[in-house]
Each structure stands twice: as structure tokens, then as C-alpha cells.
């Protein structure tokens, strides 16, 4: 709780999770944290392959992914819940906020609620959010989940299966 991750970066060849990295079998409870100007190969702010983290009232601002996905968050876990978070000015190849630029998810089955996505950018898809593989995203409160990202706000990547 109440942490600040600013100007962190990972190495080019093994660079996952500029701010935080959750490996398989782990789950984080992250509350009232700031992820600002972090840089990674994937997951500029957070890279999560764990099993259902809870991320609440956090800000993901200006995080960068050079060649991969998820400027703010890259998530390939299951059951992650993201509530009342700000994603602003994040960039990546795919998804501006979640899985791409900002938030990228692969096989994601979780909830995004009450989040704001502003000015996130992706080269290929999902300036705000990309949902890939067999994943699905549920927005419990569509009125308060706001999207305003460049390229595409929400993008659905085809399943490889």
C-alpha cells in the first residue's frame, strides 16, 4: 500500500515489469500506489502472470513499453480485479493502458471497474485496452469506466487456438 514506483527500468532482454513483477502462483494486493515513467519490454508499470491480483486506487502515468505490450499493465493471470485506477499517457506496441499501451491481457478473466483511460497510445491495437486469447473483460460499472485513448480504445485480439 501507498508505494511510489518512479523511473524504474528493466534490462532489454529480460525486461518484464518496470515497476512490479508477479510470477506464476503469486497474487498482489496493490492499493494507493503510483507507477510513473517506468519502462520495460512488457508491463511498463506491472507485469502479472500470477493468479488474480487486486489493484485499487492506483495511477499508471507515462509508463513505456519499447517492443511489447502493456504500458501500464500486462496481465496474463486469471481473476485480476482493477478498481478506481487512472491510466494516462502510457505507450506500447499493443494496448495503450492494459495489455498494450496501458493494459494488456491474455486469457484474462477479470473485472475493470471505475477506471479512467486518458491519452494512452498503441502502435497496433487497443490504445486503452487489449483483450487477447480466450480472455474476457467485465466492466461492472460502465458509466464510470471512461476511455479516451488514441488508436483504438478497446481491441479484441484473435485467439491463437
List Cβ neighbours of 139 (8 Å cut-off, separation of 6 or more).
111, 112, 113, 145
Q: What pLDDT does residue 2 have?
A: 96
Q: CA triplet 45, 143, 152: central angle to 5 degrees?
A: 55
DSSP code of 142? T
**pLDDT tens by residue, 36-88:** 999 999 899 998 887 778 999 999 999 999 888 888 988 876 678 889 999 99
Q: Give the chain's end-to-end CA distance (angstroms, integer).
A: 38
How large is the average pLDDT for residues 133-149?
A: 48
Amino acid at each position: 500500500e501507498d508505494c511510489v514506483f518512479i523511473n524504474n527500468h528493466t534490462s532489454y532482454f529480460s525486461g518484464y515489469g518496470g515497476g512490479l513483477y508477479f510470477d506464476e502462483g503469486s497474487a498482489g494486493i496493490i492499493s494507493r500506489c503510483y507507477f510513473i515513467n517506468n519502462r520495460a519490454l512488457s508491463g511498463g508499470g506491472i507485469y502479472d502472470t500470477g493468479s488474480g491480483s487486486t489493484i485499487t486506487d492506483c495511477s499508471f502515468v507515462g509508463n513505456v513499453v519499447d517492443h511489447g505490450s502493456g504500458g501500464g499493465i500486462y496481465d496474463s493471470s486469471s481473476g485480476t480485479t482493477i478498481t478506481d485506477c487512472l491510466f494516462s499517457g502510457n505507450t506500447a506496441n499493443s494496448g495503450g493502458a492494459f495489455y498494450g499501451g496501458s493494459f494488456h491481457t491474455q486469457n484474462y478473466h477479470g473485472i475493470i471497474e471505475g477506471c479512467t483511460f486518458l491519452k494512452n497510445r498503441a502502435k497496433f491495437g487497443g490504445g486503452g485496452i487489449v483483450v487477447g486469447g480466450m480472455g474476457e473483460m467485465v466492466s461492472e460499472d460502465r458509466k464510470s469506466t471512461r476511455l479516451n485513448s488514441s488508436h483504438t480504445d478497446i481491441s479484441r485480439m484473435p485467439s491463437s487456438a
